[in-house]
Structures are given as structure tokens and as C-alpha cells.
Amino acid sequence: MGKMKLKKFFLYAIFFAVVYSLFSLGNSYSNDSSIENRYLFLEFYYKDGNFSLVNKTLESGYYPNSEFYGEYKIKIFSENKELYSNYFDPSVIFSDDFSKEVIEGGVLKLNESNFYLVLPYFDEAEKIEILNSNNEKIFENEVYDVGAESCRVQ
């Protein structure tokens, strides 16, 4: 009878340890500063290496944390501290054609396009910058949260 109670005790202890671990993991994930409940949704116009910001909104949800590659680099700053950076290239589109038996496609190079970037939101963010392949700043914009579902662009 004593062994049965001891087994039951260990099974309950393991069960509670697993449940506690799962709740702890969930809480640490939701408090991770790089994964927020909000993200910046930026619409840009690109032409021949020049950028202009068309629209900027603050959206609810989780930022899809992905690594990108490209000729340009976007950075988010707070004072002089870099909070985030990633690469992108609005002039390149990968295309697939499924209309034939053999899938065809390729890379399209554009001189002009509207494109969107989804970036993590940081409460302390002050500005975004875009750098070219020579690491020269070619675009800068202040980030102002107005406390609603949009941001003010200056």
C-alpha cells in the first residue's frame, strides 16, 4: 500500500511540474520583448533606389519574425540604440507560373513598385532608417505612436 501511494504522489508531482512548465513557457514567450502584441505595417513607394513612405499603421497581432535578404537594410532605433534590423529588396519579385504541366517562373527586377514591410513594434522606438548596399542612409522617418490603431508620420 505504501508503494502505491508513493507512485501516485510521483505521478501527481510530475503532472503538476509539466503543467507549471507549460504555463511558465507561455508567460515567458508572451513577455519576450522581440515578439509583441502589435506590429508596424509600413507601405512604401520605391522608384530607382528612392523610397517614400505612403502609409504607416500600428496593427494588433504578432510580428512574423523572419530573416530576409536583399540590397537594402531597415533599422529601428531608440535614441542611438538599434532595436531591430533586417534586409529587404523591393525591386525583386519571385514569380511562379502554374498554368502549364511544368512549373515555370523566375525573378522579375522592377524599377518601381509599391511594397509593404511588417516590422516589430517597440514602445521606445523613435525612428526607422533604410540603408543601401554601401551602408549609406537613404531614408529616415520618425516613429510616433498616437495611442490608437495608427501612427502619425512626420
CATH number assigned to the domain comprising residue 108: 2.60.40
**pLDDT for 56-86, tens place per residue?**
888 888 777 777 788 999 999 998 899 999 9
pLDDT in tens, 93-138: 877 777 778 777 788 888 999 999 999 888 888 999 999 999 999 9
Instruction: Please tell me whether residues 16 and 77 are part of one structural domain.
Output: no
Do 64 and 4 lie in one domain? The reply is no
| Pairwise CA distance, residues 20 & 12, whole Å | 12
> Same domain for 44 and 113?
yes
Residues 60 and 14 in one domain: no
pLDDT at residue 104, as a whole number: 78
Distance CA 46, CA 62 (A): 26
Residue 28's pLDDT is 34
pLDDT of the residue at 7: 59
Is the model's pLDDT at 9 over the cut of 60?
no
Residue 100: give the domain boundaries.
Answer: 38-152
Residue with cell 504555463: 23
Same domain, 73 and 113: yes
Phi–psi pair at 34, nearest 5 degrees: -85, -10
- Cα distance between residue 103 and residue 74, in whole Å: 33
Q: How many domains would you assign to the chain?
A: 2
Do 76 and 22 reside in the same domain of the chain? no
| One domain for residues 44 and 16 | no
Q: Both 80 and 16 in a single domain?
A: no
